[in-house]
A and B are shown apart, each in its own frame.
Chain A
Amino acid sequence: MLNIGLDILIALFILGGALLALVAAYGVLRLPDVYTRNHAASKSATLGIMLLLFGTFLYFLEDGHFNSRLLLGIAFIFITSPVAGHLLSRAAYNSGVKLWEGSVQDDLENKEKLEQGK
């Protein structure tokens, strides 16, 4: 009885993670500029793969094998993936990639002028 419940939990984690990764890829395909694409890729893909790794962890725990590398992988992806997304967005902005035409506000537009005025 307990095993069937745990199996269903593992299946939910794995399928949910895979579907979130698919949603992230669809966002990267469809969104209009690099910043919105980065928003999709660095949040949904991270959560999806973390769920998938946790499902894998539960699967091996069911066999009586506690695998600490999977927990380390979850923690590492949780820490590093948003940092990589932030650095990529900043590099894209500083190398002059344009925002989407529908964007309303760009707070960094007059950055050079403001810094010189100081």
Chain B
Amino acid sequence: MINSIVIVALGIISISMLLLIYRVVKGPSVPDRVVALDALGINLVGVVALISIVFNSFAFLEVILLIGILAFIGTIAFAKFLEKGVIIERDRDA
């Protein structure tokens, strides 16, 4: 029973990822694309959790933390680049 429900949930999440990819391709401004990419990263976390139920194995659950951290750092870097033009600033007294 749970396996068929997980398959249905995987279908729903893949539809939502397709909608987000449409926004990434079409989005009129750069922040639109970054918002959609951030949501894509979060959806990817859900896909990994569902895949680990399908395989009935808990070997992939570290990947959840890893994708979460990487998506967060990427979004922060993009936001800082859009706002200031640099990601890592130089020293002020140099």
Contact = CB atoms under 8 A, between A and B. Distances in A.
B35 A22 contact: no
A interface majority secondary structure: helix
Interface residues of B, number: 49
A73 B16 contact: no
Given A7-B1, A56-B52, A87-B79, 11 more contacts: A17-B46, A22-B19, A25-B17, A25-B39, A28-B19, A41-B36, A60-B58, A73-B65, A84-B75, A91-B83, A95-B82
Interface of B: 1-2, 5-6, 8-10, 12-13, 15-17, 19-20, 22-23, 29-32, 34-36, 38-39, 42-43, 45-46, 49-50, 52-53, 58, 61-62, 64-65, 68-69, 71-72, 75-76, 78-80, 82-83
Interface of A: 7, 10-11, 14-15, 17-19, 21-22, 24-26, 28-29, 34, 37-38, 41-42, 45-46, 48-49, 52-53, 56, 59-60, 65, 67, 69-70, 72-73, 76-77, 80-81, 83-85, 87-88, 90-92, 94-95, 97
